[in-house]
């Protein structure tokens, strides 16, 4: 979901997106419910990473990017033994709050900063303000654990009604119509949403708002507003809940669906056939993203209501929030070194192996320039 700043929107003329062929996810470290620290494990060579001066780097925020951060910390820690990177999850809302309290050098958020949050950041950034740097491309998978059902098709209006308790049984005619030939149980739907302020929730509810044909009555937000259902904290908590509760449904970033072996619904968008929740299908949507931020801010506008063939609509981008100017002198060099690695070809390919979507090359070039200009 993206903020239009000064009414200025620049289209990204993006060509083909190189994606790794293997999208299977092995279990990868922490679930980011607690603060973790980089270790000496990892596969990146020391020659491939500029370690800078070393030191300690504190960050927090989005759990949707948690698995990506684990990969990056392992590689960076292996190459740069003099650097300690500590990332506490907590969700996008908590990350932005901690950044604006001056507690972390950067924060991860799945929703770009609001004007009030940018204004608040000036007290921390001193000579500048916070900016959004897209770093992790991903998609929101609608995960389900339905008795006897291996494949499920949903659309925007039906999904909106499920998560607002307007549809409460799995064999509801609206679901049955989308899934001919599938035996749906006469069982109550256990819809699970995030209990914490979450950028994943904001992206998911933006989809419900844009593609729900009026069925979703609420403005998109980090805080859940739908009626009924159960709740769980953070991406790992939601994933575990779906895995444990029969006839449940929820929404998580794809890497968590893969890590927990959860089934993902295909989305009927109006294209000729339903679109599967895969990184290549999300890349088709990212290829048409537009930059809506100004200056060094690179917040994006994404098309959640796309009907293009093979274009998965429920996408998200995780931004790293940093000061454009006024970063703390003691952590600036390490911050730039780490972000230079995460946006590098090696860093993007590493998380591509884990179910994330490597960012389009033209956008990567812009992020690299923004990182280089941090002061």
| Chain centroid offset of residue 88 CA | 16
CA separation for the pair 10, 74 (Å, rounded): 35
CA separation for the pair 35, 73 (Å, rounded): 12
CA distance readout (Å), 361 to 143, 220, 319, 368: 30, 29, 16, 10
Sequence-distant (≥ 6) Cβ neighbours of residue 230 within 8 angstroms: 190, 191, 192, 193, 241, 245, 248
pLDDT of residue 166: 98
**DSSP-based helix, strand, coil % in the chain, nearest 5:** 35, 20, 45
Token reading at 121:
């950041």
* Low-confidence stretches of the chain (pLDDT beneath 50): 1-47
pLDDT of residue 3: 35
pLDDT of residue 297: 96
With beta carbons less than 8 A apart as the criterion, state whether 86 and 373 touch.
no
- Residue by residue, DSSP assigns 151-186 as --EEEHHHHHHHHTTS--BTT-HHHHHHSTT----S
pLDDT of residue 342: 97
For strands 300-301 and 290-291, give the pairing: antiparallel
CA separation for the pair 355, 322 (Å, rounded): 25
pLDDT of residue 42: 39
pLDDT of residue 23: 28
With beta carbons less than 8 A apart as the criterion, state whether 131 and 297 touch.
yes
The pTM assigned to this predicted structure is 0.82
**Domains in the chain, ordered, with CATH?**
24-136+323-372 (3.40.190.10)
């Amino acid at each position: 979901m993206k903020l239009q700043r000064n009414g200025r929107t620049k289209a990204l003329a993006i060509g083909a997106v190189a994606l790794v062929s293997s999208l299977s996810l092995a279990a990868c470290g922490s679930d980011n419910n607690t603060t973790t620290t980089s270790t000496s494990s990892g596969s990146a060579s020391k020659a491939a990473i500029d370690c800078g001066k070393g030191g300690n780097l504190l960050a927090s925020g989005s759990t949707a990017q948690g698995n990506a951060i684990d990969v990056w910390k392992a590689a960076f820690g292996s190459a740069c033994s003099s650097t300690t990177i500590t990332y506490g999850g907590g969700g996008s809302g908590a990350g932005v709050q901690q950044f604006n309290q001056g507690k972390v050098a950067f924060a991860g958020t799945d929703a770009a900063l609001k004007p009030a949050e940018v204004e608040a950041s000036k007290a921390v950034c001193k000579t500048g303000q916070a900016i959004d740097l897209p770093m992790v491309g991903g998609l929101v998978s609608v995960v389900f654990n339905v008795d006897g059902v291996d494949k499920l098709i949903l659309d925007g209006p039906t999904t909106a009604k499920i998560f607002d308790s307007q549809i409460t049984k799995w064999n509801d005619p609206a679901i049955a119509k989308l899934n001919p030939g599938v035996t749906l149980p006469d069982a109550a739907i256990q819809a699970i949403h995030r209990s914490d302020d979450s950028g994943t929730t904001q992206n998911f509810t933006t989809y419900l708002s844009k593609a729900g044909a009026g069925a979703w009555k609420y403005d998109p937000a980090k805080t859940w507003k739908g009626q009924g259902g159960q709740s769980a904290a953070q991406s790992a908590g939601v994933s575990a809940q779906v895995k444990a509760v029969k006839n449940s449904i929820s929404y998580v970033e794809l890497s968590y669906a893969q890590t927990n072996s959860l089934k993902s619904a295909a989305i009927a968008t109006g294209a000729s056939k339903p679109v599967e929740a895969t990184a290549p299908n999300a890349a088709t949507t990212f290829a048409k993203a537009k930059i809506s931020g100004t200056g060094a801010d690179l917040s994006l506008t994404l098309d959640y209501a796309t009907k293009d063939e093979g274009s998965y609509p429920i996408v998200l981008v995780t931004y790293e929030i940093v000061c454009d100017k006024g970063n703390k002198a003691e952590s600036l060099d390490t911050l730039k070194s780490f972000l230079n690695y995460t946006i590098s070809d090696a860093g993007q390919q590493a998380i591509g192996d884990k179910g994330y979507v490597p960012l389009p090359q033209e956008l990567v070039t812009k992020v690299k320039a923004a990182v280089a200009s941090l002061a």
